Amino acid sequence: MSNISKPLVIADYFNGAGEMAWAWWHEHHCRLAVIGDNTISPKRGMIKEIARVIHERDMESVYWITGEDVPSIGEVINIDAIPWVEQYPDPPKEVEDRNIFISNRNFFSAAFLRLLAKIKGVFRQDLMPPSTYRSHLEGPVSGHLRTIEGLVDGAKKEFLREQFKALESVNWFKTREEGRKYYIDKNGSLYEQALSFLMAVWSFWAHTAKCDDPQQFMLIIEPPKALLMYDTDKDIQEIVTEALRIMNYLTEVTTTSILLSSETLHPAPEQNFRYKLFFQTNDSDIDMWHKDVQMKIRKPELYAAWRDGMNDAGMWEDAASGERLFAFFRYKNIEFWDDFDKEED
């Protein structure tokens, strides 16, 4: 067993019943959605501690897509994997997940153009005519680039050239304690934030395809709440949800774990996250204090803890077994269960 392929001790059960561990790297346990308000719950502190502990043992493992503010200083890591993936033809017919790869690769470039059209305030077909690509030689972006060069409108051509050029090298930042982070650009419109999020997901997806050496990844995704709320533009919701679905698929075909940090319940249930951890919410699509939710949970000890100011109390739900566990979740002192491999022996 590798140095990081061990459970993380993340909580202490109610009533002192022992410690709770999460086998975060394991293929059957590698999807976790943590739902809770960024301010009144310890969610962000907990996730930062998870990242720190994993990063301390493997500096190549942890990646974030986050709505945090961009730091004033930091080492930039350029991921140039999108052009690398796009240079290859569609896989041969005998490849088992050929159609999934083709569909996913087409989604990224199509969603990219769809959001660019929204940003410009035009219909997709008015931004650029439909493109074709030579699937036996290349990916869809090559076809889009040829179409762009054929445009007569100079301003539109320059705009699209600039946008596609940004895909050649996507900027991530190396942090000292928490791994590599992509900071979602929050300065623009929601469409621009969604575009920034899409570029992050696209570049990480391509990066996993480009990696030559085996690597266990922990991808932490923190989309801004506005991208997921029920009143957000349906185009944004569809694109963000599909991008998350593709990331979840990575957990099935690569050694990637996904930790979704969200202030909303959507889209965790639809995305088949096995585990969901609930803290208190605020201005969300789920109200943990609603009487109907309380009746469904039937755990007065949880609400008593919250009333007493113990915001680290939470509910862990296993979608596979239906089991619910209640514990005080750590936002410091998270540690590897280093004796796990000995017990397995």
Report the Cα 266 to chain-centroid distance in Å: 13
Q: Is 344 helix (H, G, I), strand (E, B) or coil?
A: helix
Q: Given the structure tokens 């113990």, which residue do they identify? A: 310
Residue 191's pLDDT is: 97
Q: What would the pLDDT profile of 206-218 be if each residue is shown by its tens digit?
A: 999 999 888 999 9
Q: How far apart are CA 329 and CA 310, in angstroms?
A: 10
Backbone angles phi, psi at 250, to 5 degrees: -60, -30
DSSP 269-321: TTTT-SEEEE---SSSS--TTSHHHHHHH--HHHHHHHHTT-TTEEEEEETTT
Task: Name the nearest CA neighbour of 89 among 122, 138, 42.
Answer: 138
What is the value of pTM for the model shown?
0.94
Residue 140's pLDDT is: 97
User: Cβ distance 29 to 22 under 8 Å?
Assistant: yes
Q: How far apart are CA 6 and CA 41, in angstroms?
A: 26
Residue 271: what residue type? Q
User: Cβ distance 139 to 87 under 8 Å?
Assistant: yes
Neighbouring CB atoms inside 10 A of 216's CB total: 20
Q: What would the pLDDT profile of 276-326 be if each residue is shown by its tens digit?
A: 999 999 999 999 999 999 999 999 999 999 999 999 999 999 999 999 999
Q: What would the pLDDT profile of 149-203 be if each residue is shown by its tens digit?
A: 999 899 999 999 999 999 999 999 999 999 999 999 888 899 999 999 999 999 9
Residue 16's pLDDT is: 82
Q: What would the pLDDT profile of 28-64 be if each residue is shown by its tens digit?
A: 999 999 999 999 999 999 999 999 999 999 999 999 9
pLDDT above 60 (res 272): yes
Residue 341's pLDDT is: 55
Largest alpha-carbon pair distance within the chain? 71
Residues in contact with 233: Cβ distance below 8 Å, sequence separation at least 6, in sequence order: 118, 190, 191
Residue 345's pLDDT is: 45
User: Cβ distance 256 to 250 under 8 Å?
Assistant: yes
User: Cβ distance 133 to 87 under 8 Å?
Assistant: no
Neighbouring CB atoms inside 10 A of 69's CB total: 8
Domains of the chain: 30-79+174-327 (3.40.50.300), 81-168 (no CATH)
Residues in contact with 297: Cβ distance below 8 Å, sequence separation at least 6, in sequence order: 315, 324
Angle at alpha carbon of residue 86, lines to 81 and 91, rounded to 5°: 115
Q: What would the pLDDT profile of 58-111 be if each residue is shown by its tens digit?
A: 999 999 999 988 887 778 999 999 999 999 999 999 999 999 999 999 999 999
For the chain, the average pLDDT equals 94
Helices (H), the chain: 43-57, 81-86, 98-120, 124-127, 140-149, 154-165, 190-210, 234-253, 291-297, 300-307, 340-344
Q: What would the pLDDT profile of 117-164 be if each residue is shown by its tens digit?
A: 999 999 999 999 999 999 999 999 999 999 999 998 999 999 999 999
